[in-house]
């Protein structure tokens, strides 16, 4: 089997795994506890508890015209992966809902763990280039017709769904839905960006050559030299840029301080570092 087909299988298997985890979050935690945490699934949860229509079927009924309209207006860039994720999600939810037992009836625990599990699932779907339709498509359409950003579109859609939940359920359940929405958003970022955060250090020193040699020798990290100029002094100097692991931050600070007590160091978060000394570019 060629590498292209292997990648194809891995991507769709990854999307499927993410969809199953998201569906489990809904049927084990969110749907039975009336936690409508935004998006099409949240709207389908409201419909399920008010009219009795199956959640998966409702999601498919909402997503289908959204998908068709999005392809018509925005082109086919959403592609087969979105269609696969959308249909699979609806089928898995309606398959699991009658045969699984909710794990808790506490709305706070349901919102927290449902949000976490949904975030992991959706994050995996995104990681493999898929989507589950719905909110993403709606946000893109709002962007097309109103000019607002995708983030603003997502916020408006989720706010509408949670407000609907407050009207049909109660305000307290809507507040729990906000907890689930926040947990989902955080876990999506965590899955996509990874658990191991790196740090980037910018070093301005009067002894850049010594600092560079010490970083090479003690930390075995590469250093990039940027050319800078002081706005007040007009003095040109070398600025050092180095990316290190979180555990190496203290060693770097001690190393630089021992060479130059007056060095200026800026250390900032790096959510993902790819290449030599860090994760492979192929991951």
What burial class does residue 248 get, using C-beta atoms within 10 Å of its C-beta: 0-12 exposed, 13-18 middle, 19+ buried?
buried
Q: Which value, in Å, is the radius of gyration of the alpha carbons in the chain?
A: 24
Terminal-residue alpha carbon distance, the chain: 20
Q: For 227-257, how does the pLDDT look when each residue is reduced to its tens digit (9 = 90+)?
A: 988 888 888 888 999 998 877 888 899 999 9
Ranges of each domain in the chain: 3-193, 198-270
Instruction: Name, in order, each residue with C-beta under 8 angstroms of 50's C-beta and a sequence gap of 6 or more.
Output: 168
Q: What is the pTM of this model?
A: 0.74
Q: For 183-210, how does the pLDDT look when each residue is reduced to its tens digit (9 = 90+)?
A: 988 888 778 766 656 889 999 998 999 9
Report whether CATH 3.90.920.10 matches the domain 198-270: no
The edge-to-edge listing of strands for the beta sheet with 236-245 is 224-229, 236-245, 198-204, 264-270
Instruction: Name, in order, each residue with C-beta under 8 angstroms of 174's C-beta and a sequence gap of 6 or more.
Output: 36, 162, 163, 165, 166
In this prediction, residue 189 carries a pLDDT of 76
| Separation between Cα atoms, residue 51 and residue 29, nearest integer Å | 20
pLDDT in tens, the chain (283 residues): 567 788 888 889 999 999 999 999 999 999 999 999 888 899 999 999 999 999 999 999 988 887 777 677 656 655 788 888 889 999 999 999 999 999 999 999 999 999 999 989 988 888 887 777 777 667 666 666 776 655 566 677 888 888 998 999 999 999 999 999 889 888 887 787 666 568 899 999 989 999 999 999 888 888 999 998 888 888 888 899 999 887 788 889 999 999 999 999 999 887 766 666 666 655 5
């Amino acid at each position: 089997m060629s590498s292209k087909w292997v990648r194809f299988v891995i991507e769709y298997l990854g999307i499927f795994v993410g969809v199953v985890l998201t569906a489990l979050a809904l049927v084990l935690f969110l749907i039975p506890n009336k936690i409508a945490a935004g998006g099409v699934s949240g709207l389908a949860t409201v419909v399920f508890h008010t009219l009795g229509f199956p959640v998966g079927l409702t999601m498919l009924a909402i997503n289908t015209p959204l998908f068709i309209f999005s392809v018509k207006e925005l082109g086919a860039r959403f592609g087969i992966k979105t269609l696969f994720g959308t249909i699979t999600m609806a089928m898995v939810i309606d398959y699991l809902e009658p045969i699984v037992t909710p794990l808790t009836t506490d709305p706070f625990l349901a919102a927290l763990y449902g949000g976490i599990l949904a975030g992991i699932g959706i994050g995996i779907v995104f990681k493999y280039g898929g989507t589950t339709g719905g909110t993403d498509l709606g946000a893109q359409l709002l962007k097309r017709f109103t000019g607002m950003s995708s983030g603003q579109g997502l916020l408006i859609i989720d706010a509408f769904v949670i407000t609907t939940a407050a009207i049909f359920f109660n305000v307290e359940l809507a507040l729990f839905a906000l907890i689930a929405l926040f947990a989902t958003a955080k876990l999506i970022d965590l899955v996509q960006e990874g658990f191991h955060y790196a740090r980037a250090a910018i070093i301005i020193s009067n002894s850049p050559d010594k600092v560079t040699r010490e970083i090479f020798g003690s930390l075995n990290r590469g250093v990039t030299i940027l050319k800078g100029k002081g706005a007040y002094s007009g003095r040109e100097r070398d600025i050092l840029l180095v990316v290190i692991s979180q555990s190496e931050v203290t060693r770097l600070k001690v190393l630089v301080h021992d060479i130059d007590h007056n060095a200026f160091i800026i250390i900032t978060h790096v959510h993902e570092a790819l290449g030599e000394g860090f994760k492979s570019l192929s991951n």
